[in-house]
Amino acid sequence: MDPMTFSIIRHRLFRIVDEAVITLKHVSGSAITNEGHDLMVSLYRADGTLLMGGVGFLHHLTSAAEACKSIIRRFEGDIHEGDIFLLNDPYTAALHTSDIYLVSPIHHEGRLVAWSACFVHVYDIGAVNPGGFAPQAPDIYTEGFSSPGIRLVAGGEMRQDVLDTILNMVRSPEMVTLDLRSMIACNNVARDRMQSLMTKYGAKEVDGACAELVNQSEDLFRARLRELPDGQWQSRQYLDVNGDTARVNLTMTKKDDRLIFDFSGSDPQSPYSINCTKWASLGGLFAPLFPLLCYDITWNEGVLRPVEMIAPEGSIVNCTRPAPVSVATVGAIQSVNNAACSTIGKMLGASEKYRNQSTAVWHANHFAIFKFGRNQKGGDSIGILTETFAGAGGARSFADGVEIGGEIPNPISRMANVETVEAAFPVRYLFRRRAPDSGGPGEYRGGTGGELALVPHKAPDGGINYVISGKGSRHPMSEGLAGGYPGAPNSYVWVKAPEDGANTPVTAAGGLDAISGTQERVSWGVYPLMGRDALYVRWNGGGGHGDPIVRDPEAVRRDVAAGLVTLQSAGDIYGVALRDGAVDETETMAKRKSIRSARLQQEASE
């Protein structure tokens, strides 16, 4: 086709997705959509294959394609212009029940020509715990409303009975209405723009450009794979919940222009809601694959074609009904994404041409903490602790990871200001800062994570409660590369005030240990933050790259000065001696020499 017209149509398809995202954010107005950017909008071809993925939560690009396909199968012959379908059943295509897909067919001159799909994390879905993440759910039946596909809008008219039925099952139906309304508006914008694109250039021409775009992505991705070495790379993730530990094992094989992700050997599905379905696993592995391998390739079906996934049925990465999955997005899906990031990072690191694209694992462990309770103004407040979106960058083969630098699967996220949180919730921060020693040591250090402590403040009920789905406080999950250490794991501590009636702490410059009281680890369930107690959270740093004892001693000195690495770790892990704030070169050399000789003193165990 004419390369000029192709270029114009391609650009316009990108903008259509952008405009739909803007509409979604505008109409919704919710904090999680606008601040956390927990959303996704994309376009699909008439057969449901991915045409154009936007910059949203990348886990969803492939799952929403499956949502389109399953709607096509279910409603074959009964799909009409102006219809909008809702789907949120994880065993059909969705990631978990609270991420609702609305998919809408796009017709031109009476013919089905494309689909648009979007999701937001809705305010509530009626699960046993509020907010969508349900650590106390034993099965899918207690994780709220779910549908494998239902017509919400018929020929442009809202089906009020269907809507009322859904709203009847959720907390705060007004907020869920708003979420649904925003998704409808978003799909309408995508449909209108696609239709005017086809009117201007012709449906056949546009579809031709779409086919070309998909083929082009496939060709480019296969060409890139051929440039990379053939081989096999392994990674492993440990997910601990309430004392149980589950493994996600991955062997990634690259041969010629194909890539196989094999999760054989992963543990059986868990009694806890960290499991994920196979569509969710597929989404999880593509989330890092798009930005790491296809950063300059349009994200569509063409990228999917060279990739195969093997996920054993009944395992934590391909669970079977009725296993609970509500924490999947920060559970098994995130581990799949970490594991894939690790093997892809290894493969890129093995290539002369692409080694600078290689990265250790970023922010591997979200902590989903939903605070809820009456606030200082007497109103109800509920919301996620947005520090979970703050993340940490993995070290790269040429540079340190970005401190508190976000995550790979959600390219544009951010956390709320302390003042914003304190204005809306009856809490006060004692500190919020970068956590020392949290970035994985290496020649290039992983980006640090952060730490914070909260106390109740002017709370009418003496404090608030929170739902925590905080797995991963035992095992580091942000793996390093080429010898780099993993980032330090998450930590969630309930500091119980001493009996003797001391006041609520007002400051804690020394960190966790400066808060008086007894420390108790928490991770899973519903807990109070009341009275004079404090909640401490530390989130993981990124993985390191290379051997820490070859890190530039000057960089270690700077890290210590900036409070990113402790003096003890500078000596023990990096082998750097500091004296009066300067590097002691002689002693550093001696220290590194002695670390080297200690390394070989023990017999090889295999």
Using DSSP, state whether 482 is helix, strand or coil.
coil
Site string for another protein, 253-292 (x = CB under 8 A): --x----------------------------------xxx
Site for another protein in 9-48 (CB under 8 A): 10-12, 14-15, 18-19, 22-23, 26-31, 34-35
How many binding residues for another protein (CB under 8 A)? 156
- Compare residues 321 and 593 and give the one whose CB is closer to another protein: 593
Among 502, 561, 582, 589, binds another protein (CB under 8 A): 561
- Nearest Cα to Cα of residue 454 among 512, 400, 513, 367: 512
Site for another protein in 510-539 (CB under 8 A): 521, 538
- Compare residues 105 and 441 and give the one whose CB is closer to another protein: 441
CB of 77 to another protein, least distance (A): 31
Contact 559, 524 (CB under 8 A): no
Site for another protein in 404-433 (CB under 8 A): 404-408, 411-420, 422-423, 428-433
- Compare residues 240 and 533 and give the one whose CB is closer to another protein: 240
Q: Kind of pairing, strands 150-154 and 111-121?
A: unpaired
Site for another protein in 303-332 (CB under 8 A): none
CB of 300 to another protein, least distance (A): 13
Among 482, 495, 515, 535, binds another protein (CB under 8 A): 482
Per-residue 3-state assignment (H helix, E strand, C coil) for 300-341: CHHHHCCEEEECCCCECCECCCCCCCCCHHHCHHHHHHHHHH
> Which residues have CB under 8 Å from 358's CB, separation 6+?
345, 346, 348, 349, 396, 397, 481
> Which residues have CB under 8 Å from 301's CB, separation 6+?
45, 49, 50, 51, 65, 214, 217, 218
Using only the alpha carbons of the chain, give its radius of gyration. Answer: 25
CB of 51 to another protein, least distance (A): 16
If binding is defined by CB under 8 A, does position 484 make contact with another protein?
yes
What is the C-alpha to C-alpha distance for residues 174 and 146, in angstroms, rounded to an integer? Answer: 19
CB of 510 to another protein, least distance (A): 10
Contact 389, 406 (CB under 8 A): yes
Site for another protein in 187-246 (CB under 8 A): 189, 216, 219-220, 223, 229-236, 238, 240, 245
Among 74, 159, 171, 474, binds another protein (CB under 8 A): 474
- Nearest Cα to Cα of residue 346 among 263, 438, 229: 229
If binding is defined by CB under 8 A, does position 503 make contact with another protein?
no
Q: Kind of pairing, strands 258-262 and 307-310?
A: parallel
If binding is defined by CB under 8 A, does position 181 make contact with another protein?
yes
Contact 426, 454 (CB under 8 A): no
CB of 530 to another protein, least distance (A): 18
Q: How far apart are the first and last CA of the chain?
A: 60
Contact 426, 457 (CB under 8 A): yes
- On the question of a cis peptide bond just before residue 322, with omega within 30 degrees of 0, the verdict is yes
If binding is defined by CB under 8 A, does position 157 make contact with another protein?
no
Among 45, 475, 532, 591, binds another protein (CB under 8 A): 475
CB of 92 to another protein, least distance (A): 28
Among 488, 515, 529, 578, binds another protein (CB under 8 A): 488
Site for another protein in 68-127 (CB under 8 A): none
CB of 320 to another protein, least distance (A): 25
Stretch that binds another protein, among 80-88, 310-318, 463-471, 556-564 (CB under 8 A): 556-564
CB of 516 to another protein, least distance (A): 16
What is the C-alpha to C-alpha distance for residues 452 and 449, in angstroms, rounded to an integer? Answer: 11
CB of 483 to another protein, least distance (A): 4
- Compare residues 12 and 74 and give the one whose CB is closer to another protein: 12
What is the C-alpha to C-alpha distance for residues 202 and 121, in angstroms, rounded to an integer? Answer: 36
The residues that bridge with 77 in the sheet, in sequence order, are none
- Helix axis angle, 173-201 relative to 203-227, nearest 10°? 100
Joined tokens for residue 562: 């900036």
CB of 141 to another protein, least distance (A): 29
Stretch that binds another protein, among 62-70, 145-153, 160-168, 566-574 (CB under 8 A): 566-574
- Compare residues 90 and 288 and give the one whose CB is closer to another protein: 288
Among 50, 390, 467, 576, binds another protein (CB under 8 A): 390
Q: Kind of pairing, strands 150-154 and 50-53?
A: unpaired
What is the C-alpha to C-alpha distance for residues 151 and 104, in angstroms, rounded to an integer? Answer: 10
- Compare residues 110 and 378 and give the one whose CB is closer to another protein: 378
Site for another protein in 356-375 (CB under 8 A): 357-359, 362
If binding is defined by CB under 8 A, does position 486 make contact with another protein?
yes
Site string for another protein, 579-598 (x = CB under 8 A): -----------------xx-
What is the C-alpha to C-alpha distance for residues 340 and 336, in angstroms, rounded to an integer? Answer: 6
